[in-house]
C-alpha cells in the first residue's frame, strides 16, 4: 500500500479545492517513461500507477521570481514568498544522492512511523512535504476462504474513498534528482522531481482489507504540512501521527484494475454482490460468497 489510486479531477478543480496559487503543470518536466503516458499526464486517470507523472501540490518560492524589498529600496529585490503550486511529479521518490533514477520504483511509499529516520526520506519529511490529490485508492484483500487457480488466497480489489465526499489528498514527500549526464542545469531534462506517498496503519474496518493506508490529512492540517519553514521534528511527528477513524468507505471493484493499462470511470464501479467470492465485508467482518 499504496500502489494504485484514482485521480479524475481536472486541474482547475484541484486548483480550487486545494487553494493553489500557481499552476505549473504546463511547464516542461522530465518523465522516466519510455512510452507516452496514457492517459496523458494531467488528464483524469482512474488507475494512477508508479512511474507515472501525477498532479501534486507543494509550497515553494517560485524560482527566479523576486519582489521589491522595502528595506533595500525600490531598486533592491528579495525572494518572493512561498507559493502553493500545482505540478506534475513522477511517482516513486528518487533521493538526491541516488546514482540513477531506477531506485524510485522501490520508494513509492514512506512509512509514517519511520520516515524521519530513513536517509531516503528524512530531509524531504523535514522541508519538502506535499499533497497528492485523489478520488480514493485501490487495495487488494486476501480472501480467508477462497483460492485462485494457483491455490493461493484469492485477491479482491476494493476502492476506498472518503464517505463524506470531502476533498481527499494523500500526505506526500517530494525530492529533486540532478542528472549528472546533462551539462546544462537549466535544461528541464537535467532534473527529475519525484514523490512518495506517506502510509500509516489502516483504520478499524479498513484493516479488514489491508493493514496499511495512505496518511490522509484533513483540510485544517494542509497549510502546516505544506509549510517548508515548519521543520521542527516534534511538529512534523505530530502530523505524521494524525488519525481520524471513520472517514472512509470501501466497496469491491472489478479485477480489471489489476492491469495497469486499464483505465476509465468503470474501474471505480461497485461489483454486484452476487459476483463476489470469499470477500470479507470491511464493516461487518462477514464473509460474502464463501
Active site residue 139: yes
Catalytic residue among 2, 113, 130, 238: 2
Q: What is the largest CA-CA distance in the chain?
A: 76
Compute the C-alpha angle 23/166/85, nearest 5°.
15
Contacts of 176 (CB under 8 A, 6+ apart): 96, 191, 192, 193
Q: Terminal CA-to-CA distance of the chain, rounded, Å?
A: 25
| DSSP string of the chain, one letter each residue | --S-EEE---HHHHHHHTT-SEE-TTS------SS--SSPTTS-EEEE-TTSEEEEEEEEPPTT-EEEETTTEEEEEEEPPPEEEEEEEEES---TT-SSGGGGGG-SEEETTTTTT-TTTHHHHHH-EEEEEESEEEEEEEEEEEE-TTSSEEEEEEEEEETT---EEEEEEEEEEE-TT---TTSGGGEEEEEEEEEEEPPTTGGGT-SEEE-B--GGGHHHHH-TT---HHHHHHHHT---TT-EEEEEB-GGGGSTT--SGGGGSBPPGGG--SEEPTTT--EE--
Compute the C-alpha angle 117/119/124, nearest 5°.
85
Catalytic residue among 139, 175, 219, 238: 139
| Residues annotated catalytic, as ranges | 2, 139
Amino acid at each position: 500500500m499504496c500502489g494504485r489510486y484514482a485521480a479524475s479531477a481536472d486541474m482547475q478543480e484541484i486548483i480550487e479545492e486545494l487553494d493553489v496559487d500557481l499552476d505549473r503543470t504546463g511547464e516542461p518536466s522530465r518523465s522516466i517513461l519510455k512510452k507516452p503516458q496514457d492517459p496523458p499526464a494531467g488528464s483524469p486517470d482512474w488507475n494512477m500507477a508508479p512511474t507515472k507523472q501525477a498532479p501534486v501540490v507543494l509550497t515553494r518560492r517560485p524560482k527566479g521570481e523576486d519582489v521589491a524589498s522595502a528595506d533595500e529600496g525600490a531598486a533592491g529585490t528579495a525572494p518572493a514568498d512561498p507559493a502553493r503550486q500545482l505540478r506534475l511529479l513522477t511517482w516513486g521518490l528518487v533521493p538526491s544522492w541516488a546514482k540513477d533514477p531506477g531506485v524510485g520504483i522501490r520508494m513509492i511509499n514512506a512509512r509514517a512511523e519511520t520516515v524521519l529516520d530513513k536517509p531516503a526520506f528524512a530531509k524531504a519529511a523535514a522541508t519538502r512535504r506535499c499533497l497528492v490529490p485523489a478520488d480514493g485508492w485501490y487495495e487488494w484483500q486476501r480472501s480467508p476462504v477462497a483460492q485462485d487457480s494457483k491455490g493461493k488466497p484469492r485477491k479482491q480489489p476494493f476502492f476506498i474513498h472518503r464517505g463524506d465526499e470531502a476533498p481527499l489528498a494523500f500526505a506526500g514527500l517530494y525530492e529533486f534528482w540532478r542528472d549528472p549526464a546533462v551539462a546544462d542545469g537549466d535544461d528541464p531534462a537535467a532534473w527529475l522531481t519525484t514523490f512518495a506517498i506517506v502510509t500509516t496503519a489502516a483504520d478499524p474496518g479498513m484493516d479488514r482489507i489491508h493493514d496499511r493506508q495512505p496518511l490522509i490529512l484533513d483540510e485544517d492540517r494542509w497549510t502546516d504540512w505544506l509549510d517548508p519553514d515548519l521543520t521542527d521534528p516534534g511538529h512534523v511527528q505530530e502530523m505524521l501521527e494524525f488519525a481520524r477513524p471513520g472517514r472512509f468507505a470501501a466497496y469491491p471493484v472489478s479485477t480489471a484494475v489489476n492491469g495497469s493499462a486499464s483505465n476509465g470511470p468503470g474501474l471505480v464501479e461497485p461489483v454486484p454482490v452476487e459476483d463476489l467470492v470469499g470477500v470479507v465485508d470491511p464493516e461487518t467482518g462477514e464473509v460474502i460468497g464463501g
